[in-house]
Amino acid sequence: MPGYSQDVKGYSYDKQKAIELLKEAGYPEGKGLTLKLVYHNDESQRELCEALQAQLKEIGVNLQIEEMLGATHRSAQNEGKLGFWRANWGADYYDPENYYALFYSKNETPVGPNTSHYKNPKVDSLYELGLKLTDFSERMKVYNEIDKQVFEDSPWIIVYYNKYIYLKQKRVQGMYVDGLGIINLKYCEID
Q: pLDDT in tens for each of the 191 residues of the chain?
A: 677 778 888 788 899 999 999 999 999 999 999 999 999 988 999 999 999 999 999 999 999 999 999 899 989 988 889 889 998 888 888 888 999 999 999 999 888 899 999 999 999 999 999 999 999 999 999 999 999 999 999 999 888 888 888 888 999 999 988 878 888 889 999 98
The pTM is what? Answer: 0.83
The predicted pLDDT at position 72 comes to 92
Q: How far apart are the first and last CA of the chain?
A: 32
Do the beta carbons of residue 189 and residue 174 sit within 8 Å?
yes
